[in-house]
Structure 1
């Protein structure tokens, strides 16, 4: 069983309610039909404009939904310090992205998948403002799950959201990525904090940032292994790990790779995808109190299905 088959099988046992905004997109409708017909999740479409939606699918119109005022009131309480009015809150929550996020915040859905016709900024804005960060997280970030035909699965973070994280943010990215890896893959995370140096082989302030982030991670006393700073070869190849980082619990066997900035992370996942023929699942958004996933605007309906299954496993 490959990774995609595995996450679909595991998602099917959860029966999670996954909201899919922007139901005018034919890809979203097709994904919703597949999710429902194959019992992978319980899709909920949000009607944002006229569209031909199969009658057997659950569809919500935010404008006429009886929960609109309650959602708007909650949103107003969260955002009134920004000068927003109650009337403005109602208009904001009518937007499918904000209505979907409000459903999650209220416990009326288990996850949301959006972005096929919206920017990452729009999706994250709705999620952060209506849902907020989970306890212990200080930043919203992302990972890509990189899977290979031979069964290997790795987690790369952050590859899509935070350009240049500081020490505290990098530590949060590492912790959240480890937790995401465990939830999505079902395997124990071994986290490598990557750099262009291994265990002091070079000196630079960017290396110090990685080292300091690792120390912050360790103060949380979490039940996974993390080490750094490590070059990629030392993190993944046992023979090199023995020479460069002897005694490390992570070197040579890492499965979660934390990149020091978005330049490195984004380039790395695309190189892995294109040159190593890996399947990149994501971006998987993490750090939110409830799971709301982002999509590429060039995604296929199958991508939406797979992201919905990942979302179901993030609870």
Structure 2
């Protein structure tokens, strides 16, 4: 059951400084929808091809450590095509204050990078002369990393907030302030828990360690996410965001809206503009705030 070759907590001082500029450029190639196959077979043109699995992993982390990662996509930011806008609450507050002080939009090319995304980059490392960290060891799996444009211009506004530049990596910042928690162990643990939930006859150790068994299982995981999702027991709030939310819960929502006569062309499990419009129309008909956010009240009326 044990799968350990390295414990992430032992690697804090031994990070691989990845070529963030090159990785950001790679991520900005044409984004694709989730790949309907296994991670090991997924095209490596853009790590958004594992969006379905990535969203399950992020949700599972927040089940392990409640509110460990919160979205900052409601701030004045422009996000890269495969950037997951998640940081700790205190780190988000620091970003908000910096944006308000500068009065300018913050361009974020990368933030939290899921284990599945890192696996794709790692699988392609032999075709890349630059170093790529093994899954679970990159500081982008810590939940405390950002790659931004115009870092030098932003540093005076971030000074004293807990965000610090990383030497030798021009776009990169790490948050070391109040509420900082390195989530690299939880990043791996989240995958191990999801794998075991879906493979009761092929369980792996839930130790938060990266090793050959975890690597093999991740490569054999569906890029679109597992059948048994982490939100099955505790529903997540659905809304229009970037990257687009997708999964079994979105597909069920779309089908309910479609059955109720709303304009849903296909229940593809992706919460796009069509679903957002239909949800707002449903909310208006039921005297709810038409914000497109599917929370407890909207979900209850749809039951």
TM-score, normalising length from structure 2?
0.25
TM-score, normalising length from structure 1?
0.24
Answer with 1 or 2: which has the greater Rg. 1
Q: Which has the higher strand share?
A: 1
